Structure 1
Amino acid sequence: MADPNRSSGKAFVVEHLDPELEEWSSLEYATIAAECHAAGSQFLLSSVPPSLKLPVNLQQAKGLNVETRGIEEIYADKKDKVCLLDPAASKDLSPEDGDTFDIFLFGGILGDDPPRDRTSELRKKGYQGRRLGPVQMTTDTAVRVTRMVVQDRMPVEKIPYLDHPELKINKHESTQMPFRYVMGEDGRPIMPEGMVELIVRDSEKGLGDLL
């Protein structure tokens, strides 16, 4: 269980807004946990239904804290320290926000295409909002970018991105991903381990079914 009073590093909270947990989502959550653990920050998966059995990769993930409680209960006394990453916010996230906020909150399904504004459920709770630019991101990308801005002090517009990259399915087919990714040192989009294989495996269903 998470310790909401732990002061070292920032806390990154994904409020899980679905009754189920798809495989692609578990890959994203495992990646977030690993990267947060390496960066000395917390990753909290909140509002997880007690009936939801986590897959093995999340049960074994270092740095993952799982809570059945929601964000309002966990951080009831720290509402002013919570920043909601909201595509509809009027202000972009800045490095200075790392001085103001300790907890960064994400809606559990950011990677809808087209976006379904799942974040509206959290917006109603009255948290201050910040935007990560105009292009839709996957949940792990959104957490990665937020961490780079508030912990590494890199302005959001200076981060190297790849928008809507194409993934080769086979010699004759490719799929265009409808999201923005951080570009890795190899020039390729940073994606969770196993995600490309999952997309290729499910390609015959079409990307719409996957997401």
Structure 2
Amino acid sequence: MPISKTYIVEHLDPELGPWSELEYIAIAKETGEAKSTFVLSSLPADFQVPDQLAAQPAFKAEHRGVEEMYPAGNGKERVCLLDPAAEKDLNPDDRAEFDVFLFGGILGDDPPRDRTSELRKKGFTGRRLGPVQMTTDTAVRVTRMVIEEQYTLSKVPFVDHPDLKFSEHESTQMPFRYVTDKDGKPIMPEGMVDLIKKDADKSIDDLF
């Protein structure tokens, strides 16, 4: 039987940039395939959920913050905050400890702005995904592999800071860690490479 878990991104921005939109759609699709749930929390009242994201059966839009959704004494102890500053790495045994896995908005800032600190202050139990910065979809993907597929972090196939080659003379290096596919290529959301190529003159920060 599939292990059904909930993956929450506490969305800390008033809008949704093209990069985040592609990431969230990828998370919703993969989470749905795993028979789990993907939630965007803390959404402003006037937040416009993109049609392609809203159409994903696993996706839920939530205006409440995680602290309100899981207050102390009513589920908070079953929430795991994926936190780069946590002392302990996520491991397969955490499947029995937690039902909800919480991610602090845009993880893929370069350099990291430690936006998870806002959630850390609320007292959720933290786990780390290793020392290298990941995009949000990668962080959820890795968490799902560890919790639902029982990988240890050391067994997850990673590539750090891969080069994306657009042509013989045009390439860019991504400042993140990615899970690789069976061919050793970084797994990215559908449409992401095209977005990066189209906006190669912008900084990656501008695409979120």
Tell me whether 1:109 sits opposite 2:106 in the alignment: yes
Tell me whether 1:27 sits opposite 2:22 in the alignment: yes
Tell me whether 1:95 sits opposite 2:92 in the alignment: yes
2:194 aligns with 197
Superimposed CA distance per residue, residues 7-38 of structure 1 (whole angstroms, 9 cap, x where no aligned partner): x6111111001111101101100111111110
- TM (norm. structure 2) is 0.95
Give yes or no for contact 1:47–1:71 (8 Å, CA) kept in 2: yes
How far is the alpha carbon of 1:192 from its aligned partner? 0.3
Counterpart of 1:114 in 2: which secondary structure? coil
Match of 2:152 among 136, 155, 165: 155
C-alpha separation between the residues in 1 aligned to 2:136 and 2:187?
A: 12
1:82 aligns with 79
How far is the alpha carbon of 1:171 from its aligned partner? 2.5
- TM (norm. structure 1) is 0.94
How far is the alpha carbon of 1:75 from its aligned partner? 1.7
How far is the alpha carbon of 1:56 from its aligned partner? 2.1
Match of 1:138 among 135, 158, 168: 135
Q: 2:24 is aligned with what amino acid?
A: Y
Superimposed CA distance per residue, residues 148-205 of structure 1 (whole angstroms, 9 cap, x where no aligned partner): 0011111011100011000113321110000000001122100000000000000022
Superimposed CA distance per residue, residues 21-75 of structure 1 (whole angstroms, 9 cap, x where no aligned partner): 1011011001111111100111111111111112222122231011001101112
Give yes or no for contact 1:169–1:203 (8 Å, CA) kept in 2: no
C-alpha separation between the residues in 2 aligned to 1:188 and 1:78?
A: 38
Q: 1:104 is aligned with what amino acid?
A: F
C-alpha separation between the residues in 2 aligned to 1:125 and 1:15?
A: 13
- Note the residue ranges of structure 1 that are not aligned, 5 or more in a row: 1-7
- Note the residue ranges of structure 2 that are not aligned, 5 or more in a row: none
Give yes or no for contact 2:161–2:173 (8 Å, CA) kept in 1: yes
1:17 aligns with 12
Tell me whether 1:182 sits opposite 2:179 in the alignment: yes
Q: CA RMSD in A?
A: 1.1
Give yes or no for contact 2:109–2:205 (8 Å, CA) kept in 1: no
C-alpha separation between the residues in 2 aligned to 1:208 and 1:11?
A: 27
How far is the alpha carbon of 1:115 from its aligned partner? 0.2
> Taking every aligned residue pair, what percent have the same amino acid on both sides?
62
Give yes or no for contact 1:26–1:57 (8 Å, CA) kept in 2: no
Give yes or no for contact 2:164–2:174 (8 Å, CA) kept in 1: yes
